[in-house]
Amino acid sequence: MLKIFTTQLQGQFKRIMEQEEMNMEDGARILAQSVISDGSILIHGFGEMAAVVTEALFGAEPLNSAKSLYTNGNMEEVEDVDSVLLITRFSTDEEAIKLAEELHDKGIQTVAISAIEKKEGVRTLDEIVDIHIDSKLTKPLIPDDVGTRFGFPSVMTALYAYFGLKFTIKEMVEEFE
């Protein structure tokens, strides 16, 4: 079972790397501008995606100039030089869409990571933010004997996309200095 999971997960990572490389670069450019301009990268993860925020703020190698978008349940003030990174499981997350629209209306540059899921007549996160990185995970990875699937590593795929952004931001900031 673990071998199947590993193979499927490697396939997910490869799809993200191959198909989202330009979006990662464009997203990193937006976020790096905040770092270079002495602004902040404000990050918010919905649900289990708070794990990505924890990694960015408290991991072994924190993201330069990053801070949480929310402190004690209150949204931080976002300045013109700041940018926002939103992470959620699916692009149809209503709470994420509402926040992205609010940020868009304020002219705040926003990058998002989520799996693109389309619903008829519903505006999705990828249509609102400046740059969207598709985490590609819309269904569990492992099939069982009766045809259902299990194993939905949404945080792992989001972390992979986050690290792609982080490494690219680091390169851009180093080139600027």
Q: Report the sign of the C-alpha dihedral through residues 52, 57, 126, 23, in that order.
A: negative
Question: Which tens digits make up the pLDDT trace of 28-59?
Answer: 999 999 999 999 999 999 999 999 999 999 99
Token representation of residue 17: 């790397």
Give the residue carrying structure tokens 């992979």: 160
Is the pLDDT at 177 greater than 80, yes or no? no
Ordered domains of the chain (ranges, CATH) = 2-176 (3.40.50.10490)
Q: Report the sign of the C-alpha dihedral through residues 13, 17, 23, 24, in that order.
A: positive
Contacts of 11 (CB under 8 A, 6+ apart): none
What amino acid occupies position 77? E
Is the pLDDT at 121 greater than 90, yes or no? no
pLDDT on residue 1: 83
pLDDT on residue 96: 98
Question: Which tens digits make up the pLDDT trace of 52-96?
Answer: 999 999 999 999 999 999 999 999 999 999 999 999 999 999 999
The number of angstroms, rounded, from the C-alpha of 45 to the middle of its chain's C-alpha atoms is 8
pLDDT on residue 66: 97
